[in-house]
Amino acid sequence: MTTMTPDIASPEFDPRDAVLHAALSLLEARASHMATIDDWVALARAVARCQGMQTVGYLTDDDLDQVVEDEMDWDTERDGPLPEAEPD
């Protein structure tokens, strides 16, 4: 079973649907003994949207570092600021 992340920019977006989709993805990942950063970000985005918060409030520093490292799609206005990349 594969779920799709709803388009949160859509005017028809329902945060409850996003939470359901994220939760289903998380349950699927847990059943496979694997949860990815994509699963965590989707869940954090859905919960944040339901509560009128930013995604960063539901992710750990390690999660945010992974978002930066993986160059994930990130909207600073919606999701919040990412940590500054440290020079190599």
For the chain, the C-alpha Rg in angstroms (whole number) is: 13
Closest CA to 19 of 9, 8, 10, 30: 8
Q: For 2-30, how does the pLDDT look when each residue is reduced to its tens digit (9 = 90+)?
A: 445 556 667 777 888 888 888 888 878 76
Taking residue 52's Cβ as centre, other Cβ atoms within 10 Å add up to: 7
pTM: 0.65
Determine the 3-state secondary structure of 82 from DSSP.
coil
Per-residue model confidence as pLDDT tens digits over 32-78: 768 788 888 988 898 888 889 999 998 989 889 999 999 999 999 99
